[in-house]
Amino acid sequence: MDEALLRSLTPAVLGILVRRGADFAAAEDAVQDALVEAIRVWPADPPRDPKGWLVTAAWRKFLDATRAETARRRREDLIDAEPEAGPAQDTDDTLQLYFLCAHPSLTPSSAVALTLRAVGGLTTRQIAQAYLVPEATMAQRISRAKKTVGAVRFDQPGDVATVLRVLYLVFNEGYSGDVDLAAEAIRLTRQLATAIDHPEVSGLLALMLLHHARRAGRTAADGSLVALAEQDRGKWDTRLIAEGVEILQAALAQDRLGEFQAQAAIAALHADAPRAEETDWVQIVEWYDELAALTDSPIVRLNRAVAVAEADGPRAGLKALAELDDSLPRYTAVAAYLHERDGDDQTAARLYVEAAGKASNLAEREYLTRQAARLNRKSPPHP
């Protein structure tokens, strides 16, 4: 059975139910039930018109569910009112769904869960597994999210930036359990890009593709992290890189720069270097300057310090670093790296150990500990 097709139909089917007068929460439940039934029935009995099948099944689920609470007359009105939805409306519906599921009244975790279910067509169980929480907890999170956006009118225009932040969060969660969240984020961003022409949507899509292209090179066989400079660039997916670069160039040509386009430009410059030593660090620093002007994020200035070190030498990098708050996440890790580049192995080793203690994930802690161990063997600390 084509699960990708099934899931790609989800937002359009949901949109049709809402346009027929179902409220969002009930319609979303009905579509989820129809998806579960499709997964059960389709392998043995594939429908000729998958979308029509889903609409019919979801509408029946909706009517069954509302039978108890809705007066018979109201139900008959709804059945009489069934309009046929055209393709143009599908696109609008899909876009409205993205806006609704990323509504600013939702917390990030609720917006992510609702987007993956209502737009992505994932089951509650799959989402729960991906985020390592019990299914009941995820069901509750989704149900509360739907209540929160219950009063939002479906035709209200939303803010693309909030949608992009949600998709970025999904992408950055990576891969855990049965669901490849990075691939799912790319699929959802592609779908969004067909529903709306916006340079930052393209920028985010390009950013995702350019990072996804490096996935095979980012971890060693034992699962440990491989630093960008050490990665086997032969493992990078050149087709994804080419696609990312093309999408980015088209976005930049619109001359409406945003943070995702700037981040994608940096990723593209890395992807463009056949060897780490050939990286155009001067241009990367310029893009970090653009990015810092757009976001004023201290994390951006931290990454900029690394780029400055590569472009103008470790001393310049350390000088840029000294202007930042040393309580920033990964500050100590960056300091360790720059001291190593500056030839001060002992300071670097000490800082790597300190940074390992502050790491926010196991892979990073192991990576930093390895760096300390390597330097300690090379130049043992004074007694």
Partner 1 sequence: MAKYLLLKHYRGAPSPVNDVPMDQWTEDEITAHVQYMNDFADRLRNTGEFVDERALAQEGTWVRYDGEGRPPVTDGPFAETKDLIAGWMIIDVDSYERAVELAGELSAAPGKDGKPIHEWLELRPFYGHAPTITE
Q: Is 57 or 248 the residue whose CB approaches partner 1 more closely?
A: 248
Which strand (E) or helix (H) includes residue 176? strand 175-176
In angstroms, give the least distance from the CB of 43 to partner 1: 32
**DSSP assignment string, 223-281:** S-B--GGGS-GGGS-HHHHHHHHHHHHHHHTTT---HHHHHHHHHHHHHH-SSGGG--H
Evaluate whether 142 touches 114 at the Cβ level (below 8 Å): yes
Q: Is residue 180 at the binding interface for partner 1, with CB under 8 A as the rule?
A: no
Among 63, 152, 169, 316, binds partner 1 (CB under 8 A): 169
Q: Is residue 297 at the binding interface for partner 1, with CB under 8 A as the rule?
A: no
In angstroms, give the least distance from the CB of 352 to partner 1: 16
In angstroms, give the least distance from the CB of 44 to partner 1: 35
Structural tokens at position 155: 């035709």
In angstroms, give the least distance from the CB of 42 to partner 1: 30
Q: What is the dihedral of CA 231, 302, 310, 227, to 10 degrees?
A: -10
Residue 233 CA to its chain's centroid (Å): 23
How far is 324 from 299, CA to CA, in rounded Å? 10
Site for partner 1 in 182-241 (CB under 8 A): 182, 207, 211-212, 215, 218, 225, 228
Evaluate whether 146 touches 28 at the Cβ level (below 8 Å): yes
**Region binding partner 1 by CB under 8 A among candidate stretches 68-76, 174-182, 315-323, 371-379:** 174-182
Q: Which of 212, 204, 110 is nearest to 161 (CA)?
A: 204
Among 270, 301, 339, 350, binds partner 1 (CB under 8 A): 270
In angstroms, give the least distance from the CB of 80 to partner 1: 38
In angstroms, give the least distance from the CB of 63 to partner 1: 28
Site for partner 1 in 305-324 (CB under 8 A): 306
Q: Which of 198, 190, 328, 321 is nearest to 257 (CA)?
A: 198
In angstroms, give the least distance from the CB of 285 to partner 1: 12
CA diameter of the chain: 88
Q: Is 12 or 351 the residue whose CB approaches partner 1 more closely?
A: 351
**DSSP assignment string, 76-143:** HHHHHH-PPPPHHHHHHHHHHHHHHHT-TTS-HHHHHHHIIIIIT---HHHHHHHTTS-HHHHHHHHH
Structural tokens at position 100: 């609704």
Site for partner 1 in 334-363 (CB under 8 A): 359-363
Q: Is residue 137 at the binding interface for partner 1, with CB under 8 A as the rule?
A: yes
Structural tokens at position 137: 């907890």
**Region binding partner 1 by CB under 8 A among candidate stretches 18-26, 39-47, 138-146, 233-241:** 138-146
Q: Is 190 or 365 the residue whose CB approaches partner 1 more closely?
A: 365
How far is 374 from 214, CA to CA, in rounded Å? 25
In angstroms, give the least distance from the CB of 340 to partner 1: 18
Among 99, 131, 236, 352, binds partner 1 (CB under 8 A): 131
Among 46, 174, 357, 381, binds partner 1 (CB under 8 A): 174
Residue with tokens 């890009």: 193
Among 156, 172, 249, 297, binds partner 1 (CB under 8 A): 172
Q: Is 144 or 374 the residue whose CB approaches partner 1 more closely?
A: 144
Evaluate whether 291 touches 259 at the Cβ level (below 8 Å): yes
Q: Is 53 or 131 the residue whose CB approaches partner 1 more closely?
A: 131
Q: Residues interacting with partner 1, by CB under 8 A? A: 107-110, 112-113, 131-134, 136-142, 144, 168-169, 171-174, 176, 182, 207, 211-212, 215, 218, 225, 228, 263, 266-267, 270, 303, 306, 330, 359-365
